[in-house]
Structure 1
Amino acid sequence: MSEISQYTESLHEECGVFGMYDKTGETDMVSAVYSALYALQHRGQESCGIALNVDGVLSGYRDLGLVSEVFTKRVLEELPRGAKMATGHVRYATAGQRSRSNAQPMVLHHCKGAMAVCHNGNLVNAPKLRRKLEMSGSIFHGTSDTEVIAYLLTQNRLLTPNIEMAVSRTMDDIEGAYSLVIMTHTKLIAARDPNGFRPLCIGELPDGNGYAFASESCALDAVGAKFVRDVRPGEIVIADRNGLRTMEDHCGAAPHTMCVFEYIYFARPDSVIEGTCVHEARLQAGRFLAQEHPVEADVVIGAPDSGLDAALGYAQESGIPYGVGFIKNKYVGRTFIQGSQAQRESSVRIKLNAITSTVKGKRVVLVDDSIVRGTTSARTIRLLREAGAAEVHYRISAPPFAHPCYFGTDIPDEKDLIATGHTVEEINELVGSDTLGYLSIEHVQQLAIHSKCGFCTGCFTGKYPVAPPTETMDIVYDKPLSQSKTNKKL
């Protein structure tokens, strides 16, 4: 978590995974994965890494920071060339501490070779599995559930004829959300949990010379790969010198329940997930909001950035003109330190500034993606009031958060959620808007316009497709690990 995010109420992304296999060896893998991670940077700004496979030897680099901070010119020049396979990862911690030891890809060497593991999601049974692994002799160096997956893979590799069978056997044991990209000395593998909580897609390189796997299709675009399809929930996809093949042993084992916030907030607007463009899904959310919560107003504006598309949809459906109401400062660094309460209170002013000519004297519809704690919402509405808005009608393109998430999103405990214990009318009063309207559960389940994808709505309803954990990873270690920056090689 960056310093500035400690004092905001926004949701945080989970992780982004990427992998590429080029049978010709002509692709500059370092540049390709670097570009892909840049495209996925929105999914995690805490740490990142690249692992490369050069003639069966796995190596790479990982550290805390943004892609541009970690992969400086010097680091990029020192990475080996000639790789036919590579993986990459950007991380935001939802399980495990902020430590370099938890950065990915995680590379493990064992008696049958080596593997690099990238994971997006959150296991609900990670503490139980970790204790079992420790009792059998496994020594953990970090605190993330990705390391649990990695150790299970190495153990199962000893018991199975190939890595894909080890992945299948590991999927028998792990529960919760996981989209995986795994690289060995000869294969690149993608796997998705049977519920399909997190997205994962397949791309084809030009002239059919290889394949790529990515959390979002925007990363495929960044490397010139053609989108083929999504990895199906429960599916294992293997790319090697023989082409592409799949295993479907776990397909259909559970209903498809992707996290609906991939459409509402997490994914990039230009990505296509489960057949639906994220931009179109957000426009649809705005249209639904206008149908459910109409109001007489002069202008519709969005809260940057994830509220902009929904605001446009609201304007299209309602006939109220769309306007640009805020300018977002894109140069507020991750290390911006807010030492005093006064600085924390003014942080929203540094990140956002209202455009007076758009809102002064007008009845404003403000569209946002969510209200978590309510503090940032109140400050944002206050900015509009101070800029002269006559009325502020707040519209949210998701239902109220009333429950935590256990599948890779850092929605906090119920005690920190404004929707827990407050009615919509009370929340409206607390954040200072004239009226408040949330998107309904019925309409949020209809955002996949071109797909029959189902959704997890546990954070709204408290009804989860997988049983929530009874314990957290916090219980398996006593104190934070060192965040030393020594020994940075994988």
Structure 2
Amino acid sequence: MCGIAGIVANIEVSGSLYLALYALQHRGQESGGISTYDNGTVHKHKGYGLVFEVFSQETLQTLSGKTGLGHVRYPTTGGSKPENIQPFNFMFRGHTLSVVHNGNLVNTDELRYEYEGRGHIFSTTSDTEVISAILANEIIHGHTVGEAISFCMRTIRGSYAVIFMLDGSLYAFRDPLGIKPLCIGMLPDGGHVVASESVAFDAVGAKFLRDVVPGESLLLKADKVYPRQIMSAQSPAHCVFEYIYFARADSVIDGVSVYNVRQKTGALLAGEAPADADLVSPVPDSGIAAATGYADASGTPFREALIKNRYTGRTFIMPTQEKREMAVRMKLNPVRGHITGKSVVLVDDSIVRGTTSRRIIALVREFGAEKVHLRVASPPIIAPCYLGTDFPTREELISHHKNVEGVRAAINATSLAHISLEGLVEAIGLPCNHLCTGCLTGKYPLAIDGEEEEPRCIEKIDPYK
């Protein structure tokens, strides 16, 4: 999972790109980068670290130009290597190309093999370079940018929201199932922004216009957006984990308020799995909205049993299990007076590997809680995600090989309950067949080797000619 943003405006864009990436920092904390275009030259800077660590005021001043794009990353395909830090920048046949991508392709290996056979030499292990190679190859062979995008979308399979800059023109496209989010905003003084989440628009003072339609491509100018529908699916497959965890609570994803979804999951969970307790507390931050919903619906007082250190990152997207475990005590500290001698309902967004949940419960017990009831605002995660979320194998998933009682015992909770899939779908407010629930059901919206498919018919509206 990553965060991407692109801006074309009537003024310099590097400062606004910085703010947009800062707002999207929750989507990736390993690295960041920005590329801008100015009078035939691509200016670029990227590196490991948080956005404020990668960029300084002096660095931003070197990134001149009225068009640019940026990326924050946590590693999925290709792993954690410096050459995989985006944006990717290329020069070929008098053209300059810069590309950022959020998502995960499922046919990367076969496409790399095909393009290596054509003489392309890959310098990274990222699927984003495969997308770049396809676009560049089509343009080299005389096809228009629109034809290159159309061919690329016909060729790649998986989840993708892509922004690219070709010779200073800004383009974007989204996969036909709309698995990863992408939306468009307008700057107050002229210009357009495209980004993973609407919170990026708030950061730069832009007005939210709409979500990019699944299967749509865009040419963005400062004064106008030129849309083109290239592919269409019978129904979309928006990533359910965006609503559960990844997106910021104040975002609107595909017309749905993330905060409202999480609050409603808590309220429904209180009805599905009540607990006799003295207080309801979130596991911050992504459990906060669900905990308020649970407390309101159950009538149990809301109290913060855990305080988050604001200077630590998201443990789930840290690259190793050892770092995730070490981060728990750095990230969370109990409020002793709220929990000593009390029965506590802890509300969390999900259980993936179980190790973090076990450590949090141990921490709350250590500070005097008599009972710890864990309520989870997602169904059990039983299957891997091949489309951009970092739980790649069934062996890592505690709920794959243990039932709820087995997980409860493993994490030492007094009781454990998850919201039902039906409850989660109700909270999101979209039909179940408009969501990708592969990690919850083991059924995926597109063909993946060795997995069960729940197919969505995709029509190629604008075939490559």
TM-score by length of 1: 0.87
- Cα displacement (A) at 1:278: 1.1
The equivalent of 1:475 in structure 2 is none
Look up the match of 1:355.
335
Which of 431, 434, 442 is matched with 2:414 structurally? Answer: 434
Look up the SS of the partner of 1:419 in the other structure: helix
Match for residue 108 of structure 1? Answer: 90
Partner residue of 1:131 out of 113, 131, 139: 113
Alignment partner of 1:401 out of 374, 377, 381: 381
Once the 2 structures are TM-superposed, how far is the Cα of residue 297 of structure 1 from its aligned partner?
A: 1.4
**Contact residue 325 and residue 355 of structure 2 kept, 8 A:** no
CA distance in 1, matches of 2:14, 2:327: 37
2:48 equivalent in structure 1: 64
What per-residue deviation string (whole Å, max 9, x for no partner) do you get for residues 301-337 of structure 1? 0101111111111111111111111112233489xxx
What's the counterpart of residue 70 of structure 2?
Answer: 88
Match of 1:481?
none
The corresponding residue for 1:476 is: none
TM superposition shift of 1:158: 3.0
2:123 partner letter: H
302, 305, 323: which one aligns with 1:325 = 305
Evaluate the alpha carbon distance shift between residue 470 and residue 189 of structure 1 in structure 2; reply closer, same or farther with a 3 A threshold.
farther
Equivalent residue for 1:175, pick from 139, 157, 179:
157
CA distance in 1, matches of 2:186, 2:324: 46
Q: Does 1:235 align with 2:219?
A: no
Partners of 1:419 and 1:345 in 2: how far apart? 19
**Cα gap change, 1:369/1:146 in structure 2, threshold over 3 Å: closer, same or farther?**
same
Quote how far apart the aligned CAs of 1:448 are. 2.7
Alpha-carbon displacement from aligned partner over 1:254-302 (angstroms, at most 9, x marks no partner): 5211111111100111111111221111101111111111122111001
Within 5 A, what are the aligned runs for 1:271-350?
Answer: 271-332=251-312, 347-350=327-330
Are the counterparts in 2 of residues 274 and 451 from structure 1 also a CA contact under 8 Å?
no
Contact 2:266–2:291 (8 Å) recurs in 1: yes
Find 1:155's aligned residue among 137, 150, 173: 137
More deviation in 379-388 or 125-134? 379-388
Instruction: Tell whether the 8 Å contact from 1:62 to 1:100 is kept in structure 2 after alignment.
Output: no
Give the drift of 1:130: 0.4
Aligned residue in 2 for 1:165:
147
Question: 2:202 aligned with 1:221, yes or no?
Answer: yes
Contact kept in structure 2, 1:204 and 1:211, CA below 8 Å: yes
Q: Do the aligned residues in 2 keep the contact of 1:64 with 1:99 (CA within 8 Å)?
A: no
1:204 and 2:177 matched = no
More off after superposition, 351-360 vs 170-179: 351-360
Find out whether 1:35 has 2:35 as its counterpart. Answer: no
d(CA) in 2 for partners of 1:384, 1:188: 50
Counterpart contact for 2:265–2:293, Cα < 8 Å: yes
2:226 alignment partner in structure 1: 245
Gapped regions of structure 2 (runs ≥ 5): 315-320, 452-465
Contact 1:164 1:189 in 2 (8 A): no
CA distance in 1, matches of 2:446, 2:30: 27
In structure 2, C-alpha distance between the alignment counterparts of 1:122 and 1:346, rounded to whole Å: 28
Secondary structure of residue in 2 paired with 1:131: helix
How big is each residue's C-alpha offset from its partner over 1:3-48, in whole Å with a ceiling of 9 and x where there is no partner? Answer: xxxxxxxxxxx100000011x2x2x311111111111111001111
Indicate conservation of the 8 Å contact 2:325/2:356, yes or no.
no
The residue matched to 2:443 in structure 1 has which SS? Answer: coil
Matched, 1:259 2:233: no
Q: Distance in 2 between matches of 1:241 and 1:56?
A: 18
Aligned residue number for residue 146 of structure 1: 128
Query: Which secondary structure does the structure 2 equivalent of 1:447 belong to?
Result: helix
- Choose the corresponding residue for 1:194, options 176, 188, 200: 176
- Of structures 1 and 2, the one scoring higher in RCO (CA 8 A, sep 6+) is 1
Which residue identity lines up with residue 425 of structure 2 in the other structure? Answer: Q
Report SS of the residue matched to 1:88.
strand
CA distance in 2, matches of 1:153, 1:342: 39
Percent of paired sites with the same residue? 46
1:18 matched to 2:2? The reply is no
Q: For the structure 1 residues 423 and 326, does the alpha-carbon distance in structure 2 shift closer, same or farther, using more than 3 Å as the test?
A: same
Secondary structure of the 1:445 match is: helix
Cα offset for 1:444? 1.6
Instruction: Check conservation: 2:192, 2:221, Cα contact below 8 A.
Output: no
The aligned amino acid for 1:206 is: P
Note if 1:379 corresponds to 2:366.
no
Taking the aligned partners of 1:470 and 1:203, their CA distance within structure 2 comes to 40
SS at match of 1:420: helix
For 2:249, which of 247, 255, 269 is the aligned residue? 269
CA contact (8 A) 1:112 1:158 kept: no
C-alpha separation between the residues in 2 aligned to 1:333 and 1:464? 30
- Indicate the residue corresponding to 1:120 in structure 2: 102
